[in-house]
Amino acid sequence: MGSHRNALVAAVRQELAEARGTARAVLAAAETARGEAEHRRRLVRDAYAMCLSQLSAAREAARDDIERRFRGEAGRLSSHLRGLATVSAGGAAGAPWRLWAPSEPEPGDRPGLLRIGGITFDERTALPGLIPLLDAAHLHLDGPTAALDEVITGVLLRVLGSTCPGDVHLTIYDPEHLGGTLAPFVPMGPSFVGPGGLGSLLDELVEHICRVNETVLAGRHSCLADLVAATPGPRPEPWKLVVLLADRATAAELTGAQRAQLNRVVRTGVSCGVHLVIRGLEVEDDPTVERITVRDRGAATCTSFGKLPIRLDPPPPAERIAAFCQSTADRMRTARAPARLADLEPAKYWTESSRHGLVAPIGDSTDGTLIEVPLGDDPPHALIGGPSGSGKTNLIYAWLGSLATRYGPEELALYLLDFKEGVSFARYAPGPRDPSWLPQVRLAGINVNGDREFGLAMLRHLGEELRTRAQAAKRCDAGKLAELRAEDPDGHWPRIVAVIDEFQVLLDGRDAVADEAVALLEDLARRGRSQGIHLILASQEVSGIQALWGRPGLMGQFTLRIALPKARRILADDNLAAAVIPRFHAVVNTESGVAGANRVVRLPDAGDRSAWRTLQRRLWRTRPAGCEEPRLFDGDAVPRLPGVYRPSGRVPTADTPVGSSPGAVLGERIDVAAQPARLRLGRMPGRNLAVLGTRTEEACDVLAAAALSLAAQGPAHFSVVCLAPEAERGAARLVAELPSADWYDASDVHFDLPGTDVPHYVLGYALDAAGIEHRTALRTLLAEGPERRTHVLGWWRSVARLRDDLGGVGARFDTIGAWVALDVQGADLAPLHPQPGGPVWYPRARRALFFDRSVHRTPEVIIPYEVNSDHT
């Protein structure tokens, strides 16, 4: 038992000894491995420290290289950018305020950018902060009001200082301070728009943009800037720079229509030279809107630089603004002014001869030299064109005034016709306030837009004059004719100048008037030059010029072309001079409008009535003996029955000799001589008159004029039959002037009238009201009366009623030899007209259509005299 235990202990001890030995061996191996690991760690740490040191050194070296290259590149780039800024915003547009001075651009240069501040990249590199405006953008500013006003002041000064005086028209809308915000710019003459005027201002801008767009498109350009660049000479239109300093009330009261107009200007204004500078109003996003947002401490951002901040420049000194504006205003005032109307006058009146043509200045050039315009064998005729408001009438005034002071009435005769609604030529004829007239004027027609027949009458008169001169020239050769003219000044034909303003009215319509007018114009234009007859046609409508372009033979005769600003189709298609000249200028071209023959003339102000009246009276007082007063035709005036056609006392008795065919005066013919329209009432069948229409006053005047003129010619007996209450007043006034006349009304009307020893005239007012029971007697009187020297002058209110009185449907109108139609349509007159379908006649006030079967081939338009009125 004991030995077994000892053996077991020995075995345990042996195993423990072996385990301790193994543990010591493992421990020794671990110690060895740890030592090796520690050594390797030390090696890694040493290597890492060395690598980190090397990387740090490499990084510092790379950073130094990058910084060196950055500074070099930034310096070069900044230098380039400053050079570009100097080119893009040179002179007054980009100079700092301490170095600022106004500078004018070179001819042909386009506007550049404008400085508002600086952009700083680091302490050593700064660039100018530039924004676009003219021909590029609108400005919209947001931020503190005081800071925005300073920015706007600086922008305006740079714009005005970097453009030519007058090239920028400044408009300021400042309802809160009534223009006081930009008061230093007052010497420049800006347009101030007060409270409530924003709507009309926007409407005017839209109209201006539409007009400029028409001009640009006509020249096949994309914008006004391209048109200006393609055409040499002065800028045609100033830039319109509109500053809108809106307050809260303006923004709240802005209507939908006004906002729509504002957005239209934003979208389309830049291409037409219209630019907005807006503070206090929101506008729609558009590529042309440059938005500037001002932050605190003078910092701002704008669209062109994104989020890059701009350090704003301080505002320009107030004294610098005042000095610049005053000096610029003084320069504009002291510039050479255009010639006055008096400057066109010669040293001595009426010393020129028109034998070889007419030459007279109409204005001057920019150096003060007078520009003369010829009329003669070449060029023989002139064409003037320009839109409404371009100065066409003023040009004609200047030209006629210059001619009238050089050529006397023996050398020059003027025929003036104005088809627009106005009295442009009334100044040349005597009037109630001024008895003087221009001695050279033979005829002046005003307010004839509704009386194309008068224009035709003037052309007929000129055609007769042309034939008279041509026949006289055939009777003697040119040399002898010159001798006769030299020996006999009284036999010298004056040159005729016929001015037709808005001539297209005469050529409008496809009717007999237009056809005959074209034929007469072509004859006068072709043959007139050799006989001293010259035409001046003027129009503000493109349609009028196109009417001539459609007739090359006629257009080719008008080699003298005068184009006013924005005129179209006057000059050749490739001649854009009229599109770029400013107001109060004209392009004179004597070679049918070709581009190489332009002369730009500044026109005087010839519309001053007092200045013209002084000149005209001076010429009128020196007129030669026998100089007759010109004929004035006013389409709006109603001629009175001349006193010579009224009986001076009682109607002559039967003892007074009687003419064979007395003539009844019905009205005034629309012709040059103002002759009356007469109806001969002889002892022939059908010598009766029917007045047709419902205009009572005019019908009464026609009958009264006929009766009074017949009474003035010799013994006659009158019977007045009045069957219409509305005509009683006119009929009674006629009887008052013809006290021996018989009076019949509805109560005692009859047509079985006794015979007389003198001509008997039955004046019937509304004979269609006589009734069926009197028709037979009336027909008998109409058929048999003229042979017994009894004539009916009656008024029927329609053609149908006249037909009923003559026998109804199918009745013949042989007993009505003459008729006067008032407000009766042409088709209704077909039964009385010699041609099927009736005349081409559209009734108009105080005009009538007169037809006498024994005289006329076609009816003629007359003006019924004013007889039964309170002032006759």
What average pLDDT score do residues 514-519 get? 90
Q: What is the pLDDT of residue 666?
A: 95
Which spans in 385-511 are helix H?
392-406, 452-474, 478-487, 504-507
Backbone dihedral angles phi then psi of residue 340, each to the nearest 5 degrees: -90, 165
Q: Stretch 651-668: mean pLDDT, rounded?
A: 65
Task: Give the span between the Cα atoms of 78 and 75, in whole angstroms.
Answer: 5
Average pLDDT over residues 572-576: 84
Checking if the pLDDT of 49 tops 50, the result is yes
When pLDDT is cut at 50, 70 and 90, the band that residue 848 belongs to is very high
Whether the CB-CB separation of 85 and 128 falls below 8 Å is answered with: yes
pLDDT at 324 over 80: yes
Kindly list the distances between the CA atom of residue 534 and the CA atoms of 360, 382, 538, 787, in Å, as whole numbers in the listed order: 14, 8, 13, 51
| 601 touches 588 (CB < 8 A) | yes
The count of residues in the chain is: 872
Cβ partners under 8 Å of residue 35, min gap 6: none
Per-residue confidence band for 98, with pLDDT thresholds at 50, 70 and 90: confident
| Paired sense of beta strands 790-796 and 441-446, if any | unpaired
| Overall average pLDDT of the 710-736 stretch | 93
pLDDT recorded at residue 871: 40
* Token pair for 667: 């009205």
Burial 466-502 (b: 16+ CB within 10 A, else e): beebeeeeeeeeeeeeeeeeeeeeeebbbbbbbbbbb
Indicate the SS3 state at residue 252: helix
Helix (H), strand (E), coil (C) string for 528-576: HHHHCEEEEEEECCHHHHHHHHCCHHHHCCCCEEEECCCCCCCCCCCCC
Cα–Cα dist 276/292, whole Å: 13
Looking at residue 637, what DSSP letter applies? P
CA nearest to 537, candidates 360, 379, 382, 394: 382
Q: Please report the pLDDT score of residue 560 as a whole number.
A: 95
- Quote the tokens at residue 134: 């003219």
State how beta strands 818-821 and 689-692 pair. Answer: parallel
Q: How many other CB atoms are there within 10 angstroms of residue 867's CB atom?
A: 25
Nearest to 664 by CA among 627, 624, 691: 691
Residue with tokens 């010109």: 630
- pLDDT band for position 651 (cuts 50, 70, 90): very low
Alpha-carbon gap, residue 774 to 401, rounded angstroms:
64
Across the range 465-481, mean pLDDT stands at 74
Residue 76, judged by CB atoms within 10 A of its CB (0-12, 13-18, 19+), counts as: exposed
pLDDT of residue 381: 95
Other CB atoms within a 10 A radius of the CB of residue 413 amount to: 23
pTM, rounded to two decimals: 0.65
Amino acid, single-letter form, for residue 531 = Q
3-state secondary structure of 90: coil
Q: Is the pLDDT of residue 649 over 60?
A: no
Q: So what's the pLDDT on residue 103?
A: 86
When pLDDT is cut at 50, 70 and 90, the band that residue 434 belongs to is confident
State which H helix or E strand residue 364 sits in: strand 358-364
Nearest to 138 by CA among 82, 199, 207, 209: 209
- How crowded is residue 421: how many other Cβ atoms within 10 Å of its Cβ? 13
Residue 797 CB: number of other CB atoms within 10 A? 22
pLDDT band per the 50, 70, 90 thresholds, residue 333? low
User: How far is it, in rounded angstroms, from Cα 124 to Cα 290?
Assistant: 29
CA–CA separation, 595 vs 440, rounded Å?
35
287 or 753, greater pLDDT: 287
- Within 10 Å of residue 71's Cβ, how many Cβ atoms? 13
Q: What DSSP designation does 866 have?
A: B
Q: Is the pLDDT of residue 325 over 70?
A: yes
How crowded is residue 553: how many other Cβ atoms within 10 Å of its Cβ? 9
From 129-143, 217-231, 268-282, 442-456, the region with the lowest mean pLDDT: 217-231
Average pLDDT over residues 132-153: 90
What are the tokens at 204? 């005017």
H-run or E-run covering 748: none
Average pLDDT, the chain: 86
Euclidean distance between CA atoms 8 and 6, whole angstroms = 5
Q: What is the mean pLDDT of residues 530-539?
A: 93
In contact, 583 and 320? CB cutoff 8 Å: no
Better-predicted residue by pLDDT, 333 or 46: 46
pLDDT value at 450 more than 90: no
Which helix (H) or strand (E) covers residue 519, if one does? helix 512-527
Alpha-carbon distances, residue 47 vs 40, 54, 102, 345 (angstroms): 10, 10, 70, 108
Q: Which residue, 641, 647, 707, is CA-closest to 676? A: 641
Q: How confident is the model at residue 650 (pLDDT cuts 50, 70, 90)?
A: very low
Q: Is 60 exceeded by the pLDDT of residue 164?
A: yes
d(C-alpha 164, C-alpha 194), whole Å: 27
- Where is average pLDDT lowest: 206-210, 420-424, 623-627, 705-709? 420-424
Sheet containing 663-669, strands listed edge to edge, beginning at the edge strand earlier in sequence: 676-680, 663-669, 860-864, 848-852, 818-821, 689-692, 790-796, 760-765, 717-722, 742-744
Dmax (CA) of the chain: 209
Which secondary-structure segment (H or E) carries 577?
helix 577-580
Q: How far apart are CA 565 and CA 571, in angstroms?
A: 12
| Mean pLDDT lowest among 498-502, 593-597, 651-655, 828-832 | 651-655
